[in-house]
């Protein structure tokens, strides 16, 4: 387990997400840091994910009454207090002893929706029992379809409100940093009962993923999944406009533009670069969300300006979790929310509904 917070880290002194990231590096064991912060191959896409946001300019607006700001959105027919969700991230107990239980508490205190990973270190039922805000469940459609069906049923019974199907991992990307660190995954609580998924001596992530990822996965399997559940199904990992068009035809409930935190295909585009093309192809027929590289409230405003319905953050809240448990998760979300509200005010936008492409400097 990670050590206690280093004496040099005083959480109240951490003001933005960069502060939390720097502090997390001093708290996390080296193997954990390499796993969480690393990406695929030369990690070019990892860098581009945020650099692309830095190149986008915002259009300020003066003399607008911004004394009242409304950050509420409606997503999948439910009202959320703001357009920030917690993306699914695996193995959270390597970052904090309480793992996903701390994250779900932090999400609840921040009034945020959490998406739980299939590879969580706490069962989906335990997380649901501790939740105070809506939960979604991230799903890998596995070669063992009956085990997949069972996971879906468990998520339904536990009260999860949507399924987020990861579609960008037919195989595992070349994650050399974690290989060099000899990363060994902890027990995957939701995969107990999957033959070969537990009990191996020092399993690698590659050996675990080989049991879970299905290189034969196609659109027919998405049709099958929709046939066995009443939950809305979103596809996570769509960047190609042609796939977005196919998703509309498939009748899924939404798309998450994602490159898996740049952990899969290196030299693929930044997600904010893919977003407007996907939004254009979808044509308003379903919500489009985006993750990857978001570190500022201004990044969120830019994503909304490009047509995103909401954004998801991953590494930032994990860094908060490592530094200060549930409180760190809450603070990372609240920092982004305050920065978003500040940016909205200075751009003369009083509600999320009032944000469109005119907020961007062309």
Q: Catalytic residue positions?
A: 260
Q: DSSP for 99-136, please give it.
A: HHHHHHHHHHHHT-EEEE-TT-SS-HHHHHHH-SS-EE
The H or E element that residue 256 is part of is: strand 254-257
Q: What angle do CA 352, 17, 342 make, to 5 degrees?
A: 35
Q: CA dist 18 to 162, 219, 278, 294, 359, Å?
A: 31, 39, 29, 11, 25
Tokens matching residue 155: 């998520």
Give, as one character, the DSSP assignment of residue 351. B
Beta bridge partners of 113: 85
Which stretches of the chain are assigned E, i.e. beta strand? 73-75, 78-80, 84-86, 113-116, 135-139, 163-166, 233-236, 254-257, 288-291, 310-313
Beta-strand pair 288-291/254-257? parallel
The H or E element that residue 86 is part of is: strand 84-86
Instruction: Write the CB contacts of 258 (distance below 8 Å, at least 6 apart in sequence).
Output: 87, 168, 236, 237, 238, 239, 271, 290, 291, 292, 312
- The CA distance from 28 to 198, in Å, is 25
151 with 118: CB under 8 angstroms?
A: yes
Q: CA dist 36 to 113, 226, 305, Å?
A: 21, 31, 29
Q: CA dist 252 to 165, 169, 244, Å?
A: 10, 19, 10
Give, as one character, the DSSP assignment of residue 262. G
- The CA distance from 230 to 238, in Å, is 22
């Amino acid at each position: 387990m990670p050590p206690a917070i280093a004496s040099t880290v005083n959480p109240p002194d951490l003001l933005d997400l960069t502060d939390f990231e720097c502090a997390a590096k001093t708290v996390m064991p080296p193997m954990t840091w390499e796993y969480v912060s690393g990406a695929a191959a030369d990690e070019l896409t990892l860098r581009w994910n945020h650099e692309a946001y830095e190149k986008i300019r915002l259009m300020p607006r003066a003399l607008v009454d911004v004394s009242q700001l409304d950050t509420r959105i409606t997503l999948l027919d439910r009202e959320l207090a703001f357009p920030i969700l917690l993306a699914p991230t695996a193995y959270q107990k390597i970052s904090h002893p309480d793992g996903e239980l701390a994250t779900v508490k932090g999400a609840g205190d921040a009034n945020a929706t959490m998406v739980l990973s299939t590879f969580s270190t706490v069962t989906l039922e335990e997380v649901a029992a501790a939740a105070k805000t809506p939960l979604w469940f991230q799903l890998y459609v596995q070669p063992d379809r009956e085990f997949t069906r069972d996971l879906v049923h468990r998520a339904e019974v536990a009260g999860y409100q949507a399924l987020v199907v990861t579609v960008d991992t037919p195989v595992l990307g070349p994650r050399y940093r974690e290989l060099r660190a000899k990363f060994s995954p902890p027990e995957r609580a939701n995969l107990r009962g999957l033959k070969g998924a537990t009990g191996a001596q020092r399993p690698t992530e590659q050996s675990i993923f080989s049991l879970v990822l299905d290189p034969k996965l196609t659109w027919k399997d998405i049709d099958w999944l929709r046939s066995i559940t009443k939950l809305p199904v979103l596809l996570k990992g769509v960047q190609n406009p042609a796939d977005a068009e196919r998703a509309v035809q498939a009748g899924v409930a939404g798309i998450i533009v994602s490159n898996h935190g740049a952990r899969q295909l290196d030299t693929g585009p930044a997600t904010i670069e893919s977003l407007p093309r996907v939004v254009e192809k979808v044509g308003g027929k379903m919500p489009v969300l985006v993750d990857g590289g978001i570190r500022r409230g201004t990044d969120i405003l830019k994503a909304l300006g490009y047509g995103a319905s909401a954004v998801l953050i991953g590494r930032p809240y994990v860094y908060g979790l490592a530094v200060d448990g549930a409180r760190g998760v809450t603070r990372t979300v609240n920092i982004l929310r305050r920065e978003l509200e500040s940016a909205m005010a200075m751009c003369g936008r009083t509600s999320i509904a009032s944000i469109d492409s005119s907020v961007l400097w062309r």
